[in-house]
A and B are shown apart, each in its own frame.
Chain A
Amino acid sequence: MRDNRRYIIQFVFLLIGFVYLARLFYLQIIDDSYKIKALATSSERVVQYPQRGQIYDRNGKLIVYNTPVYDLMMVPKKSKIADTLAFCQLLEITRHEFDSLIGKMKKEQGYSRVRPSVFMGQLSTIDFAKIQDGLIDYPGFYVTARTIRHYPYISMANTLGYVGEINSKQLAKQEENYYSQGDYIGLSGLEASYEKELRGQKGVKYVMVNVHHVEKGAFKNGALDTAAVAGESLNSTIDIDLQQYAEKLMQNKVGSIVAIDPQTGEVLTMVSSPTYDPNLLSGTRAYSRNFNRLLKDPLLPLYSRPLQAVYRPGSIFKLVQSLTALQEGAITTGSTFPLDGPMKCHKHSGAHNTLHNAIQMSCNVYFYHVFRHNIYHHETGNMFRDSEKGLMRWRNSVAKFGFGRRLGIDLPNEKRGFVPDTAYFNKVYGAHSWKFSNWYSMAIGEGELGVVPLQMANLVSIIANRGYYYVPHLIKGVGKNGKISEKYTTRNSVDVDSSHFKVVVQAMEDVVNAGTGRSARIDSIIVCGKTGTSENKGGKDHSVFVAFAPRDNPKIAIAVYVENAGFGAAVAAPIASLLMEKYIKGSVSEKRKAIEKGIIEKNFMPAPKVPVLPKVPPGGILNKVVKQDSIAKPMGKKPIVTARNSNVPLVKVSQGKTN
């Protein structure tokens, strides 16, 4: 019987062994859930952010790049601060600030004593250099680098745009599920329109994390990881030197400049004034500190005037009226008209009554007749019906010049401008109860018409080319040899015979030589231009000038708008002239330095508290609500480099850095 007991004991031992084996077979082979749980608890997916693409100007100068900022991280459990005072001195903070930083850090979501938290965010390279050596004495503190956008030229803020955290609306409507909460995305300007090219491709790294979510090396030695692909760099068409010069000329003025190379449609310069330092919106800290202040500024620095400010075209539109009427056969170059009508001409006498002279002298009544002839073809014998037919025919021709529609520049938020159609007048005056006499003021570019400065620059481009244009664009190359959209390399004809341009170009030349635009003359270069004065019922008229040069084989077409500066020749023409000279010759001649100085010193800033909104034509384009109670910032002369001091105005009304 006792011998049995030996085997019973052995049986119990082996039984337990088999029970445990069976249990292990179940845990390790049959039940899969543990493998999934293990993966879920011990590995984490870390997104690798690519370097955003850089942007170069047309001469290869780097105008946008990434610059490192440094987050001072703290692992509270590992940190030892022997002497808090010395630590505060190192960081140049007070004891009180130190305490509040610690307190703020502890309140962050997901704060843990064993994981790194941001103690001080986004230190500059200079700040980092100051503390780098001293930090060795403080275990548990270290610095991680990341990059934000940097704009070394402090220029063309509205064109470049800014990068910021993606908002919930964009997050919801993205098509390919690329972005996640907290990601950065181009929010305006080139940063937005070339977002896909600039952003690159995110990578993914799998890391092992321990029970406290502290990273512990690569998961499976990185076998599942994908590397981030850096974004493509962009080659811009902007000439940054010309751009900065233009911004300097526009200081203390409200308005726009657009300069285009007519032979390619490349935008050489695009100024929206007043502007701001684009670095003010770079990085989360700067962005959150400055964005609302810029948004509420009554001078609307975030508003891209070349694309969004809709003005009445004024006398410049006479060029379009001439060309469309010639093409229609409504007039000839030799047509003469009685110098009476609902409009008056105060410039010249009847002796010079030709198309050439009318353009040169900007004769209003002449163009009243041109427009009238162009509209009324006496097809139906009914003035109302003829007006409708004529309007639509004319509107169609004008649209070919790019008016009343978006040209399609590679920037967001381009405005259409406004060219009325029959439906519009039916709404205003009642169906079929209106005729030419209701809207003849469009003959001289007033009335219902609305254009943006870009469209005017494009018009000059068309005239410079004698009948065609390329869609204006700011990027001429993506990546190393990436091509741009075909849209920007296709020649668009305005369907006006090139012969009709001869008289217009000749008249524009004479405008500069002997007409209203003499202030635009440049030695040894034949400049063709046209002045304009955009009526502004609320205040002083806007000074407008368009031009191209040289007359033959033109290199630059330009449109200059200066708000509240009066007659076109006064300010806009010299600005255009200086820019053309600088672009074609490389520099401005010595004897014109006095003019340059005078322009720079001119101040056409509106009085405080008056919102600087361009007149809104009937098309109703500008929907931006400006808070009237926001007080205009003082117009300091200091350039803004830093926004640390909140008393300094953000709007860059003066520009001290150029040349």
Chain B
Amino acid sequence: MYREDKVTSYLDWPTVLLFAACVLIGWFNIFAAVFDVENQKSIFDLSLNSGKQLLWIGTGAVIVIVILVLDYRFYETFAYIILAFTVISLVGVLLLAKDVNGAKSWFEIGSFRVQPSEFAKFATALALAKYLSQPGLNLEKWKDLIPVGAILAVPALLILFQNDTGSFLVFSAFIFVLYREGLSPIIPVVGIAAIVVLVLTLLVPILYLVIGFTIVAGFIILTLQRRNFRNIAMVVGGLVLLCGMAVGANAAIGKLQDHQQKRIKSLVNPGLEPQGIGYQVNQSKIAIGSGGLLGKGWLEGTQTKLNFVPEQSTDFIFCTIGEEHGLIGSTLVIAVFMGLLCRLLYLAERQKDRFARIYGYCVASIIFFHFFINLGMVIGLLPVIGIPLPFISYGGSSLWSFTILLFIFLKLDAHRLQTLAR
């Protein structure tokens, strides 16, 4: 009794409140997304996604209690073991699972399906936090970076083999954590440059791209303050690197078959394939755009519940919010996420324990990355990559994994005064 009282009194209630807001927004909008005017059912009906989501929410609450009851040192102590279990289950899913929509990412036990890749997120976060919290670690040294790469790469690559590109990309969220813990900013900058080059390769003919890069490089050399050999060599080296990347990417795409090329290109330019990915984004934009300022009202949306928008209760759940609650509702959801993220950063920074702080950054980064990719996709700013909106999208595995992710951190935070700064 004593311990529980303590946990609840030290628990960060603003975060819990924001979490609850997200979950409830999700539940109501999942119901709205699957609501059928001609065959009206209760929000609790278990044949609807909303009824099932309520089950996940209820069981999620049980998980929360278990997390809060367990000793806070458990997570740090068993971090590597949890990751090991996760890796085993990821291998297992590759060997045992059936193909579902081209992806091998589900364990099926009866009618119950579990997606291990969802749980890999918090397992990796725990292991990464544990490794990085070692005293004297320096992320500018290759020696210390290699284990980091291993902790991230093993689960990430296993997920990529499952054909689950979205979850694979989530691992790039840890770049924020590494940056916060001392990684040189060059690495994220080069990473972003690489993405920009890749996108440009798809949009601009390769010759123009090389000419453009050369002009920019020449301009940089001309404007250099200290035009010594080292600086010029760096710029020329960068130019060669960029051109090499562009030519390489171009050659790789050129080797693909026509329809595969088209698919990759339509990631960048959805108009190319109006019935494929372009169709989804277009319908998603129509749904959100037709919401206007105030929206059409709860259960009054047409585009989502009439199946124009694909995956309307999972990855495209934000369409329902945008259509039925308009700009007001969209703004509210973004505000809730921003509030949650800022609160998490604030909580992370107030930790005396490095493990807890790093883990807090992991939580914030993962939630942010999902928010960034998912919303960017539904409003047509980013290519279609299927990852859920945390706490809001329908799905037991995803809801549980985010709940676990978040509440482990809240548990650690509740005990922050019991740990000494390391």
Contact = CB atoms under 8 A, between A and B. Distances in A.
Nearest to B291: A28
Nearest to B182: A2
A23 B368 contact: no
A2 B361 CA distance: 14
Interface stretch (B54-62, B148-156, B375-383, B396-404): B375-383
Nearest to A40: B286
B288 interface: yes
B287 interface: yes
B322 A210 contact: no
Interface of A, secondary structure class, is helix
B322 A28 contact: yes
A34 B334 contact: no
Nearest to A23: B379
A181 interface: no
Interface string A604-637: 0000000000000000000000000000000000
Contacts of A27: 285, 288-289, 322, 379-380
A259 B292 CA distance: 69
Contacts of A25: 327
A41 interface: yes
Contacts of A35: 289-290, 292
A17 interface: yes
Given A10-B342, A16-B372, A216 B38 contact: yes
Contacts of A20: 334, 375-376, 379, 381
Interface in A240-256: none
A13 B308 contact: no
Nearest to B376: A20
B117 to A, nearest CB: 24
Interface string A262-304: 0000000000000000000000000000000000000000000
A9 B180 contact: yes
A95 B403 CA distance: 59
Q: Which of A13, A25, A41, A208 has the most CB of B within 10 A?
A: A13
Interface string B277-312: 000000101111111110000000011011110000
Contact of B302 (A10, A29, A208): A208
B16 interface: no
Nearest to B304: A42
A38 B327 contact: no
B136 to A, nearest CB: 15
Given A9-B176, A10-B342, A37-B286, A28 B330 contact: yes
Nearest to A213: B306
Contact of B286 (A2, A10, A12, A38): A38
A217 B38 CA distance: 6
A38 B303 contact: yes
Interface string A5-41: 1101110111011011101110111010111011101
Given A29-B293, A29-B327, A216-B38, A211 B307 contact: yes
Interface residues of A, number: 38
B345 interface: yes
A204 interface: no
Nearest to A5: B180
A38 B287 contact: yes
Nearest to A39: B290
Contacts of B37: 208, 216-217
A398 B380 CA distance: 84
Contacts of B323: 38
B338 A14 contact: yes
B289 A33 contact: yes
Contacts of A208: 37, 302, 306
A209 interface: yes
Given A6-B345, A216-B38, A37 B376 contact: no
A28 B329 CA distance: 11
A43 interface: yes
A585 B265 CA distance: 92
Nearest to B331: A21
Contacts of B380: 23, 27
Interface in A33-84: 33-35, 37-39, 41-43
Interface string B31-52: 0000011100000000000000
B36 A216 contact: yes
* Closest A-B pairs by Cβ, 6 of them: A34-B289, A38-B290, A217-B37, A210-B306, A42-B302, A27-B289
Given A27-B380, A38-B289, A208-B306, 17 more contacts: A6-B345, A9-B176, A10-B342, A13-B342, A13-B368, A16-B368, A20-B334, A23-B380, A27-B288, A27-B289, A28-B292, A33-B289, A37-B289, A38-B286, A38-B302, A38-B323, A41-B283
25 contacts: A2-B182, A6-B345, A6-B349, A9-B361, A10-B342, A10-B345, A12-B176, A17-B334, A20-B334, A20-B379, A20-B381, A25-B327, A27-B289, A28-B291, A28-B322, A29-B293, A34-B288, A35-B290, A37-B286, A38-B289, A208-B302, A211-B306, A216-B36, A216-B306, A217-B37
Interface of A: 2, 5-6, 8-10, 12-14, 16-17, 19-21, 23-25, 27-29, 31, 33-35, 37-39, 41-43, 208-212, 216-217, 219
Interface of B: 36-38, 176, 179-180, 182, 283, 285-293, 302-303, 305-308, 322-323, 326-327, 330-331, 334, 337-338, 341-342, 345, 349, 361, 364, 368, 371-372, 375-376, 379-381
